[in-house]
Amino acid sequence: MRPVQLQTLALRASAALLALGWLVAMMMPVGAEPAGSGPRRIVAIGGSVTEIVYALGEQDRLAGRDTTSVFPPEALALPDVGYIRALSPEGVLSVNPDLILALDGAGPPETIGVLRDSGVPILTIPEGYDADAIVAKIEAAGEALGVQHKAGELARKVSADLSAASAAAVRGKPRRVLFVLSMQGGRVMAAGAHTHADAMIRLAGGINALGQMSGYKQVSDEAVIEAKPEIILVMDRRGDHAISDDDLFAHPAIASTPAGTDRRIVRMDGLYLLGFGPRTAEAVRDLSIALNDRSQAWRQ
């Protein structure tokens, strides 16, 4: 075959490829990203991070998840690489990832250092407990996955839903709520201001009974009694970390409060309540309903 003929065939092939690329681009929704680009074996560390990956429709790229990533239920089929705050390098690297998406606070620091030294890219997803924080999480994940357009759409929807849920929360006589994280050794560890629990209580139209303190702290019996909570809010847990109604209301300080007298308790799934991810607007609605339910106990 003559050189001129070869050149002509090459030009025709090139033109055909360009036309095919143009046709594919025209068939994609405006602003959509092409599938298949970027990392394909991702480890998601943090329940809300995993939820976001699923909400973005990128779950097929997940190779592993941490122990707190329990939603959606399909995520449980992924290999569990360990607990977010007690990770081991061997556990995370065992699934041969090409990207680690880790919620801020994942650790311990020594493990994160070893993972960085391994050469596997690690992207830290910012943590927080308001609408802006959820948007930041979604945008960071979308950037890492190369699906910024989908992330922008999801962020706008989640932000609007959360604003609507908070605005619709019953604002009559707000209930005083005590969030109990644990009761190890008979000591109440509760939530003050600047916590995920405090933010959820306020978004749902309640008052944090210990909002004058900051963070999660063990509090004295006197502080619990003086807080006068009308409702006790706890995570619905199983196993060693579970707090039974009987143990809770047998505590002398809690028994002395209006919540203890009426045995009013609200139990909600921990990730759903405190995750600050795509489902937070639903959680605000459910918590608002629960805080205004006059029955003795409410379970999500």
Tell me the pLDDT tens digit for each residue of 47-84: 999 999 999 999 999 999 999 999 999 999 999 999 99
> What's the CATH number where 249 sits?
3.40.50.1980
149 lies in the same domain as 199: no
Cα maximum dimension of the chain: 98
Residue 252: name the closest of 221, 286, 211, 287 by CA. Answer: 221
Q: How many domains, in total, are found in the chain?
A: 2
245 lies in the same domain as 147: no
Position 138 pLDDT exceeds 90: yes
Residue 66 · residue 81 · CB < 8 Å = yes
54 lies in the same domain as 143: yes
What distance in Å separates the CA atoms of residue 257 and residue 254, rounded to the nearest whole number? 5
- What does pLDDT average to over the chain? 87
- Whether 28 maps to a domain, the answer reads no
Position 181 pLDDT exceeds 60: yes
Domain end call among 167, 194, 225? 167
240 — pLDDT class (breaks 50, 70, 90): low
Q: Which helix (H) or strand (E) holds 168?
A: helix 148-168
Query: Which percentage of the chain shows pLDDT scores above 90?
Result: 77
Domain end call among 167, 188, 222? 167
pTM of structure? 0.83
Q: Are strands 176-182 and 188-191 parallel, antiparallel or unpaired?
A: antiparallel
pLDDT of 207 reads: 96
Mean pLDDT for 176-190 is: 94
62 lies in the same domain as 107: yes
Domain end call among 167, 182, 206? 167
pLDDT of 32 reads: 44
Output b/e per residue, 12-51; b: 16+ Cβ within 10 A: eeeeeeeeeeeeeeeeeeeeebeeeeebeebbbbbbbbbb
254 lies in the same domain as 287: yes
89 lies in the same domain as 105: yes
Range of the domain at 230: 173-299
Mean pLDDT for 154-181 is: 92
What distance in Å separates the CA atoms of residue 217 and residue 180, rounded to the nearest whole number? 10
User: What are the residues whose beta carbons fall under 8 Å from the beta carbon of 88, sequence distance 6 or more?
Assistant: 82, 111
pLDDT of 34 reads: 47
Position 42 pLDDT exceeds 90: yes
Residue 196 · residue 274 · CB < 8 Å = yes
Position 194 pLDDT exceeds 80: yes
Tell me how far apart the terminal alpha carbons of the chain are, to the nearest angstrom.
Answer: 75
Position 6 pLDDT exceeds 80: no
47 lies in the same domain as 154: yes
Q: Is 167 exposed, middle or buried (0-12, 13-18, 19+ CB in 10 A)?
A: exposed
pLDDT of 28 reads: 43
- Whether 49 maps to a domain, the answer reads yes
DSSP output for 185-221: GGPEEEE-BSSHHHHHHHHTT-EETTTTSBSEEEE-H
273 lies in the same domain as 156: no
- Whether 31 maps to a domain, the answer reads no
Q: In this structure, which amino acid lies at residue 250? A: A
- Whether 282 maps to a domain, the answer reads yes
236 lies in the same domain as 269: yes
pLDDT of 5 reads: 46
For helices 280-291 and 196-203, the axis angle rounded to 10 degrees is 70
Lookup: tokens for 49: 């991070």
pLDDT of 175 reads: 94
152 lies in the same domain as 67: yes
CA of 54: how far to CAs of 153, 218, 260, in Å?
Answer: 14, 36, 40
Three-state DSSP state, 238: coil
293 — pLDDT class (breaks 50, 70, 90): confident
Q: pLDDT tens digits for 100-132?
A: 999 999 999 999 999 999 999 999 999 999 999
72 preceded by a cis bond (ω within 30 of 0): yes
30 — pLDDT class (breaks 50, 70, 90): very low
173 — pLDDT class (breaks 50, 70, 90): confident
Mean pLDDT for 207-222 is: 97
The order of strands in the sheet holding 99-103 is 62-65, 42-45, 99-103, 122-125
- Whether 12 maps to a domain, the answer reads no
Mean pLDDT for 77-100 is: 97
- Whether 16 maps to a domain, the answer reads no
pLDDT of 299 reads: 63
Residue 276 · residue 287 · CB < 8 Å = no
209 lies in the same domain as 285: yes
pLDDT of 37 reads: 58
208 lies in the same domain as 294: yes
